[in-house]
C-alpha cells in the first residue's frame, strides 16, 4: 500500500472491524511492534481485541530462562486462537515469529477440559500437570502454578483470567470456583475450565533427552556451568519444569510450529513494512549463526542441536497459501490507492497562530478538523483568547460518539495525526485533518499501557532465618557469630540451644525460650564487626556510648520537630485545571500505591502544618512522578521548589524528566550542578533570589550559603541518606517552615524509625509498574561471548547498557575491545575525570 506510518494503526483497526476474523500484524523491530500495538488499541472498537505476541528475552542458543510473563502471554494467545474465541488482532515482531513453538496437534492433545461432576484420577492429574509445565507450590498466586491440599486442587492456567479451585468429593469434582490469589477466598462458581500447557517446552518429554546433558557433563565443564547443567539434568529426568527449560524445546518435538500454524485459513496476514521485516529477519538469522558458532566452539551446545528458529524461506513458504496485505513498501500484489489518500499532518511546534490558520483554511475548503489532545481544555482556552469571535465546540471526553461538526476537539491520546483526502461522509468526497499532541506541541506522548489489577503480595520479612555464620547481637553480651542449633543435657534432660561464638573462642548457649534476646547484626556498611568477649566490659562501654549518642540525636530531633509542630507553614490550594492536565498527560497508568501516595502528599500540602513525608519505594516504582506532581502543585500556588539530589547524574536525569513533563506549562526550571559554569551558576542564583525560577534541581551545591530563595515552599530530597553530616545540618535549617518530601528506596534506620513511630509521615509504594521485570543478577567468570550475548539481548529490545570498568587509564582499551566485540552498538565513554561539557555530551 505504501501507507505513511501514522495511518497504519487506523487501517489495521478498520480491517479488524470490517472483516471480523483474526488478523496477524507483523513488524520488523520489537519496539515497532510495541508502538503499533499501542496505537492500534486506540482505534479498536472492541476492548481487548488487540494483543501483542511477545518475544523471549533470551537470544537463540542461550540457556537464559524465559520470563513468566512472556510465557503466559504467548500461551494465552495460542490458547485463544486454538479455542477460536473472538477475532483477535495479534501484533508480533520478527523475533517473536521466528521462535519455534509447540506443534498444534500436541497443544491440542495437551489441553483438557474439566467440568463439575466429572470423575478424575488425582495422582495422574497431578503428574500430568507437572508434565505440562505447571509448578507445584503450597499456595497458588501466579500463572502456571498448582497446589494440592486434601480435597482441594488449585490451578492457574496461563490462558485463564484467574485461578480456579477444584473441590473434590472423593475422585469426583464437586465444584469449580474462581478465587482471589491475594486473599485465597473463593469467588463465583464456574461450570468448566480448560487446562492447557503452562510451558511451550513440555517437561513430559524431558526424560528422553536427559542423556544429552549427561554427555555434556562427562566432557567436563566449568563449575558454574556444571551446576546449571546438573539442575537441568534433574529437571529433565523428573519431567518437571525448571528455569531454562525452553532451551531444549527444539529437541522435544520432531516438528515444531510457528504462530502462523495456529491461525485459521481465513486469517489475514498484514505486513507492516515488508522490506523492514526482511532486513530485520536477515539480521537476526545472521546473529543466530554467529551465536551458534560461538556456542559450538565453547562446547555449550549438545550434539545435533536442532535449529531453534524459523528461517526467512520457511516464513515465505508459509505465506503462499495466505491472504497477505503489505501496509508499507513491499512487493504484495494489488497495491491500494490508499497511499495517495493519506498524507502526513503538518507540525506546529507549539505555535498557536499557524495552527489556527491551518484549521481555518481546512474548514473553509470544506474539510473536517479533528483535534485529539491531552491538553484539549487548555488548547480551547488559548484558542478562545486568540479567536474571540469564533464559537468553539465543547471538548469531548468520549470520542466514540459520532459528531456532525466540522470541528471536533477531543480529550484523549493518539500517537500521530494524518490528513485523509477523498473520504465519503455521505455528502461526497471530503478531507479529514487529524491533529494530535505530536503535531500541535511537537512532542509525542507514549501510549498508555493497559491498566491491570496486580496481586498485592504480603510484604517480605525484614530478616530471613538465621543461618550458621551470621553475625548476631545478644542484648547483654554483644556481637558474636551464630553457629547453629545444638542439643545439650546439663541437667539430664536434653534441651535445644542457640550456639553463639564470641572472641577468644568464648561460647554462649542461648536457650530456645530466650531466642528473643538475639537479633541479626545490622551494620552501617559491609565491614566485619569486632567480636565481643564474654566477661569483659567492652560491650557495656559500647552500649553506654550508643545511649549517649542516641540521646543527643533525640534532643536535636525533639527541638527540630517541636519547632515544626509550632510553625505555621503555607496551606496550598486545591488542584488547578492545569494540575489535572499535567496528571492526564502521564504516559502510564498509576499503580494503586502511587495514587494513594499522591493523595496523601496533596492532603499534607493543603494543611497549614509543614509537611514532612517520606516516600519509600523500590527503584522504578514511580516516586519521581509523585514528587513532580507535588512540585507543580507548589508552583501553581506561586511557591518555589528545590529538588535536592546526591549526584550530578541524578540531577541531570531529574532535570530531563521534569523538563519533558513541564515543557508546555508556565514553570521556569533550572539545574545547579557542576554541569553549569561559574557564570551560569551566578546567573541562576540571581534569578532564583528574585523569584524568576520556579523549580531548581541541584546537588549539594544547593546547600551552600550563597543560595537564596525568594519564596521557597517545597523541598524535595532524593536519597537523603546519601548526604553527609554537614549537608544535613544545612537541611535542618531549611526545613523548619517549608514542606519537605523525601524520596528513598533504602531509608536509613533512623529515618525509617521516625516514620514508623509517627514522627514523620510515610507513604510506601510496593506495587511494581506493569511490565516491570525483576532485577536478575548473574555472577560468573569473564567471557567475551557472554558479554556479547548480554549486550545483544539489550540492543534487540531497543534498550541501553552500561559496561562498568574500574580504571580510567585503560578505559579506552576496553572501548576498542567492545567495538570489535559488538560492532552493532554505538559506544560512548564517560568517567569522572572528563570535563563537564564532555561528560554532559556523553550523558545526553
pLDDT tens digits, residue range 108-155?
999 999 999 999 999 999 999 999 999 998 889 889 999 998 889 999
Of 289, 55, 163, 198, the closest CA to residue 797 belongs to 55
Q: Where is average pLDDT lowest: 27-36, 189-198, 408-417?
A: 408-417
- The 3-state DSSP class for residue 208 equals helix
CA 374 to chain centre: 23
> Following CA atoms 156, 160, 162, 168 in sequence, which dihedral angle do they give, to the nearest 10 degrees?
-50
Of 660, 667, 666, the closest CA to residue 444 belongs to 660
Which residues of the chain are in CATH 3.40.50.300 domains? Answer: 567-765
Cβ neighbours of 294 (radius 10 Å): 18
Using one digit for the tens of pLDDT, what is the confidence trace for 804-814? 998 888 999 99
Using one digit for the tens of pLDDT, what is the confidence trace for 427-437? 667 889 999 98
Which residues of the chain are in CATH 3.40.50.11180 domains? Answer: 5-105+242-326
448 pLDDT higher than 60: no
689 pLDDT higher than 90: yes
Q: What average pLDDT does the segment 807-829 reach?
A: 90
Q: Where is average pLDDT lowest: 180-184, 513-517, 782-786?
A: 513-517
CATH code: domain 567-765 is 3.40.50.300
Q: How far apart are CA 620 and CA 629, in angstroms?
A: 16
- The 3-state DSSP class for residue 714 equals strand
Q: How far apart are CA 292 and CA 301, in angstroms?
A: 8
800 pLDDT higher than 70: yes
Is there a contact between 418 and 345 (Cβ–Cβ < 8 Å)?
yes
Q: Mean pLDDT, the chain, as a whole number? A: 84
Using one digit for the tens of pLDDT, what is the confidence trace for 562-604? 776 666 778 999 998 888 888 877 877 788 899 999 999 999 9
| DSSP annotation string for 593-656 | HHHHHHHHHHHHHTSSSPPEEEEEE-TTSSHHHHHHHHHHHHHHTT-EEEEE-SSHHHHHHHHH
pLDDT at 174 (0 to 100): 93
Is there a contact between 120 and 112 (Cβ–Cβ < 8 Å)?
no
Q: How far apart are CA 663 and CA 582, in angstroms?
A: 10
Q: How far apart are CA 512 and CA 507, in angstroms?
A: 16
CATH superfamily of 112-196: Penicillin-binding protein 1b domain (3.30.2060.10)
Cβ neighbours of 559 (radius 10 Å): 11
| DSSP annotation string for 731-789 | HHHHSSSSEEEEEESS--HHHHHHHHTTSSEEEEE-SPPTTPPPP--------HHHHHH
Q: What average pLDDT does the segment 733-757 reach?
A: 72
Question: What backbone phi and psi angles, to 5 degrees, belong to 573?
Answer: -80, 175
Q: What average pLDDT does the segment 711-723 reach?
A: 85
Task: Name, in order, each residue with C-beta under 8 angstroms of 94's C-beta and a sequence gap of 6 or more.
Answer: 26, 27, 28, 29, 277, 280, 281, 284
Of 405, 434, 430, 404, the closest CA to residue 417 belongs to 434
Is there a contact between 196 and 110 (Cβ–Cβ < 8 Å)?
yes
Q: How far apart are CA 87 and CA 22, in angstroms?
A: 4
Which residues of the chain are in CATH 3.30.2060.10 domains? Answer: 112-196
H/E/C letters for each residue in 295-306? HHHCCCCCCCCC
Confidence grade of residue 384 (pLDDT, cut at 50, 70, 90): confident
Alpha helical stretches, state H, 272-414? 274-297, 312-319, 338-341, 352-364, 376-386
Confidence grade of residue 220 (pLDDT, cut at 50, 70, 90): low
pLDDT at 735 (0 to 100): 57
Q: How far apart are CA 427 and CA 839, in angstroms?
A: 60
Say what percent of the chain tops pLDDT 90. Answer: 36
Q: What average pLDDT does the segment 285-309 reach?
A: 86
CATH code: domain 5-105+242-326 is 3.40.50.11180
Q: What average pLDDT does the segment 61-67 reach?
A: 86
Amino acid at each position: 500500500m505504501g501507507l505513511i506510518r501514522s495511518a497504519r494503526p487506523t487501517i489495521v483497526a478498520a480491517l479488524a472491524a470490517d472483516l471480523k476474523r483474526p488478523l496477524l500484524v507483523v513488524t520488523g523491530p520489537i519496539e515497532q511492534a510495541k508502538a503499533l500495538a499501542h496505537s492500534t488499541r486506540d482505534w479498536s472498537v472492541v476492548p481487548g481485541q488487540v494483543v501483542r505476541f511477545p518475544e523471549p528475552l533470551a537470544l537463540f542458543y542461550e540457556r537464559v530462562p524465559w520470563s513468566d510473563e512472556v510465557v503466559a502471554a504467548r500461551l494465552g494467545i495460542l490458547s485463544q486462537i486454538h479455542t477460536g474465541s473472538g477475532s483477535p488482532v495479534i501484533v508480533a515482531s520478527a523475533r517473536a515469529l521466528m521462535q519455534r513453538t509447540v506443534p498444534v496437534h500436541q497443544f491440542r492433545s495437551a489441553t483438557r477440559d474439566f467440568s463439575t461432576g466429572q470423575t478424575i484420577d488425582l495422582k495422574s492429574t497431578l503428574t500430568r500437570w507437572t508434565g505440562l509445565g505447571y509448578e507445584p507450590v503450597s499456595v497458588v498466586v501466579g500463572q502456571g502454578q498448582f497446589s494440592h491440599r486434601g480435597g482441594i486442587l488449585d490451578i492457574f492456567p496461563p490462558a485463564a483470567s484467574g485461578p480456579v479451585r477444584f473441590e473434590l468429593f472423593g475422585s469426583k469434582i464437586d465444584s469449580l470456583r474462581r478465587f482471589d490469589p491475594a486473599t485465597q477466598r473463593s469467588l463465583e462458581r464456574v461450570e468448566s475450565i480448560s487446562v492447557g500447557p503452562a510451558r511451550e517446552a513440555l517437561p513430559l518429554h524431558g526424560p528422553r533427552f536427559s542423556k544429552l546433558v549427561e554427555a555434556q557433563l562427562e566432557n567436563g565443564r566449568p563449575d558454574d556451568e556444571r551446576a546449571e547443567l546438573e539442575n537441568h539434568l534433574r529437571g529433565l529426568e523428573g519431567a518437571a519444569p525448571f528455569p531454562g527449560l525452553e532451551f531444549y524445546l527444539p529437541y522435544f518435538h520432531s516438528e515444531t510450529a510457528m504462530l502462523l500454524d495456529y491461525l485459521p485459513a481465513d486469517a489475514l496476514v498484514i505486513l507492516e513494512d515488508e522490506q523492514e521485516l526482511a532486513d530485520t529477519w536477515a539480521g537476526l538469522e545472521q546473529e543466530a549463526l554467529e551465536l551458534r558458532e560461538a556456542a559450538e566452539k565453547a562446547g555449550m551446545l549438545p550434539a545435533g542441536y536442532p535449529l531453534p528458529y524459523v528461517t526467512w524461506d520457511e516464513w515465505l513458504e508459509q505465506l503462499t497459501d495466505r491472504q497477505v496485505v503489505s501496509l508499507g513498501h513491499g512487493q504484495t500484489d494489488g497495491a491500494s490507492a490508499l497511499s495517495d489518500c493519506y498524507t502526513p499532518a503538518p507540525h506546529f511546534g507549539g505555535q498557536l497562530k499557524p495552527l489556527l490558520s491551518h484549521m481555518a483554511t481546512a474548514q473553509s475548503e470544506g474539510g473536517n478538523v479533528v483535534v485529539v489532545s491531552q491538553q484539549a481544555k487548555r488548547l480551547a482556552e488559548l484558542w478562545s483568547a486568540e479567536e474571540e469571535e469564533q464559537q468553539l465546540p465543547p471538548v469531548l471526553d468520549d470520542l466514540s460518539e459520532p459528531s456532525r461538526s466540522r470541528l471536533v476537539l477531543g480529550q484523549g491520546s493518539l500517537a500521530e495525526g494524518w490528513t485523509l483526502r477523498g473520504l465519503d461522509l455521505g455528502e461526497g468526497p471530503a478531507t479529514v485533518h487529524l491533529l494530535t499532541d505530536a503535531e500541535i506541541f511537537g512532542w509525542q506522548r507514549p501510549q498508555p499501557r493497559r491498566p491491570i489489577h496486580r496481586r498485592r503480595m504480603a510484604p517480605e520479612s525484614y530478616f530471613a532465618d538465621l543461618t550458621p555464620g551470621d553475625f548476631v547481637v545478644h542484648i547483654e553480651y554483644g556481637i558474636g557469630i551464630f553457629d547453629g542449633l545444638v542439643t545439650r543435657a546439663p541437667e539430664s534432660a536434653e534441651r535445644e540451644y542457640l550456639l553463639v561464638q564470641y572472641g577468644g573462642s568464648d561460647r554462649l548457649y542461648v536457650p530456645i525460650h530466650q531466642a528473643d534476646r538475639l537479633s541479626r547484626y545490622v551494620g552501617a556498611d559491609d565491614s566485619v564487626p569486632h567480636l565481643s568477649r564474654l566477661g569483659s566490659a567492652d560491650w557495656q562501654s559500647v552500649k553506654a556510648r550508643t545511649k549517649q549518642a542516641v540521646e543527643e540525636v533525640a534532643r536535636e530531633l525533639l527541638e527540630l520537630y517541636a519547632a515544626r509542630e509550632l510553625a505555621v507553614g503555607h496551606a496550598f490550594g486545591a488542584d488547578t485545571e492545569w494540575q489535572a492536565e499535567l496528571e492526564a498527560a502521564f504516559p502510564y497508568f498509576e499503580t494503586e500505591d502511587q495514587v494513594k501516595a499522591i493523595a496523601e502528599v496533596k492532603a499534607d500540602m493543603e494543611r497549614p502544618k509543614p509537611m514532612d513525608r517520606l516516600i519509600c519505594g523500590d527503584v522504578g516504582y514511580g516516586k519521581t512522578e509523585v514528587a513532580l506532581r507535588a512540585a507543580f502543585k507548589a508552583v501553581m500556588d506561586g511557591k518555589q521548589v528545590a529538588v535536592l539530589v546526591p549526584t550530578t547524574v541524578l540531577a541531570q536525569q531529574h532535570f530531563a524528566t521534569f523538563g519533558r513533563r513541564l515543557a508546555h506549562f508556565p514553570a521556569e526550571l533550572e539545574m545547579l550542578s557542576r554541569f553549569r559554569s561559574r557564570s551560569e551558576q551566578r546567573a541562576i542564583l540571581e534569578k532564583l533570589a528574585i523569584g524568576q525560577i520556579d523549580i531548581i534541581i541541584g546537588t549539594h551545591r544547593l546547600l551552600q550559603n550563597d543560595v537564596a530563595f525568594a519564596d521557597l515552599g517545597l523541598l524535595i530530597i532524593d536519597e537523603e541518606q546519601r548526604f553527609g553530616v554537614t549537608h544535613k545540618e544545612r537541611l535542618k535549617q531549611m526545613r523548619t517552615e517549608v514542606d519537605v518530601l523525601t524520596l528513598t528506596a533504602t531509608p536509613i534506620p533512623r529515618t525509617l524509625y521516625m516514620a514508623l513511630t509517627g514522627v514523620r509521615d510515610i507513604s510506601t509504594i510496593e506495587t511494581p509498574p506493569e511490565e516491570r521485570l525483576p532485577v536478575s543478577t548473574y555472577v560468573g567468570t569473564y567471557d567475551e561471548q557472554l558479554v556479547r550475548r548480554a549486550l545483544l539481548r539489550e540492543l534487540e529490545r531497543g534498550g541501553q547498557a552500561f559496561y562498568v570498568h574500574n580504571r580510567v587509564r585503560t578505559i579506552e582499551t576496553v572501548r576498542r575491545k567492545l567495538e570489535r566485540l559488538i560492532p552493532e552498538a554505538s559506544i560512548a565513554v564517560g568517567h569522572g575525570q572528563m570535563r563537564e561539557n564532555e561528560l554532559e555530551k556523553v550523558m545526553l
